[in-house]
Structure 1
């Protein structure tokens, strides 16, 4: 396949469904060879790989816990073994269970930070170790809730705020190595992660959004492709809020 990412190798975490799957397929459409990661939903990862290969692209499934350093390193090594290198990392893995104030536990809070923040850090470290002088691009998936926290899932909002801060900080720290790090912060998007939102709340979010609807995975995937492409060569350390104008 030809495209703006032809010959590049991308690793997408959390790519078994939703935004991650859409991002993996969009990167492949632009010519990237893709590592499709899943931790639990291996059937979803296989479906994403099948969709890419059926469209003429190349992809391999990867499995592991991104919040465990050995797993992160093993997945990167597997992708290098398959395609020879890694040029792009998209950190989409995460979780957003409800955690009302009175029900937040130390264990639950730690798990939230591991799933949404530590996982991104360990994957960045594992991938950057392979970049070499050519550098590379990293795209983290944050959330507009980092800028307007929602009651009931505040630990998740805090983790995403920290992810945006980490994106900016490491972008400055690693810029001298030809590494660009950016993030996209989606609003409510039609994915399995947001299926818990009641219909009345869903309608309210759509009504409050200037563009009049919830996001679709493809809306976010296209921004990820942009940030991974040469067109974003002068963008670094930024979080792009993509929520139809809600925030």
Structure 2
């Protein structure tokens, strides 16, 4: 259920976004590594609706720019989307950065784990995109899904996450084909291992990481390149690989 505080925040955003002369970008997972890097990258030039769950980390984002509008909510509850994001007066770009990445081999993963990962990594971005489709149609906007090197490959010890990113790739391609006559641009930006807390796994599986890891700011710059592509083109896939392949 949407809380009174969330509704108050959205009401304030509605007033501000109605009069802004900037393009409006929605960033999910805005307090995470890549999400925060995106806010930092775009803050000087865009009005940013920044979603996150941690109130303190969201408050810190306000120091990055004058037109950052935090929305504190749990994306797992898709029933709130119409009452929050769906009320936004305009959306020029929707950047899906929120995800979870627990490592599991298939025989260690329960049905509950599969359901949680697929829901947060696939169903949530699908439903949020559907909710914001009217605004994206109006602006002929851009949707970016944050994929992964796991979008096209897998490993025996990370099959649940890889399956979710395979599905996300299919979702992005399907949305792009479905909306092509509406001039909505849809892209997948798929980095390798990025230096964020997401890869600090606490499990007993073997792990080999490239050196150096990709910086979150590098991925943010790649996403900016996608949403600022010239009007006569669309960038549908960007694969951001570490300098050292493993």
TM over 0.5: yes
2:31 to 3, 10, 16: 16
2:43 to 28, 49, 64: 28
State the match for 2:176 in structure 1.
Answer: 171
Following superposition, the deviation at residue 167 of structure 1 comes to: 0.8
Report matched runs for 1:112-191 at 5 Å: 112-191=117-196
Residues 182, 76 of structure 1: CA spacing in aligned structure 2 closer, same or farther, 3 A cutoff? same
Aligned-pair Cα RMSD in Å? 2.2
Q: In 2, Cα distance between the equivalents of 1:23 and 1:182? A: 16
State the match for 1:88 in structure 2.
Answer: 93
Contact 1:191 1:217 in 2 (8 A): yes
Residues 47, 165 of structure 1: CA spacing in aligned structure 2 closer, same or farther, 3 A cutoff? same
Q: In 2, Cα distance between the equivalents of 1:68 and 1:232? A: 35
Q: Deviations over 1:72-108 (max 9, x none)?
A: 2233145x2xxx4111100011001122222211111
Residues 165, 137 of structure 1: CA spacing in aligned structure 2 closer, same or farther, 3 A cutoff? same
Structure 1: segments with no counterpart, 5+ residues? 1-5, 207-212
2:200 to 195, 213, 223: 195
Larger % of helix: which? 1
- TM-score of the superposed pair, with normalisation by structure 2: 0.83
SS at match of 1:101: coil
* Number of corresponding residues: 223
Residues 167, 132 of structure 1: CA spacing in aligned structure 2 closer, same or farther, 3 A cutoff? closer
Contact 2:191 2:240 in 1 (8 A): yes
Q: In 2, Cα distance between the equivalents of 1:69 and 1:88? A: 19
1:240 to 238, 241, 246: 238
Contact 2:81 2:131 in 1 (8 A): yes
State the match for 2:80 in structure 1.
Answer: 71
Contact 1:10 1:32 in 2 (8 A): yes
Structure 2: segments with no counterpart, 5+ residues? 1-20
Following superposition, the deviation at residue 201 of structure 1 comes to: 4.3
SS at match of 2:25: strand
State the match for 1:209 in structure 2.
Answer: none
Following superposition, the deviation at residue 130 of structure 1 comes to: 2.2
Work out whether 1:46 is the aligned partner of 2:59. Answer: yes
State the match for 1:221 in structure 2.
Answer: 220
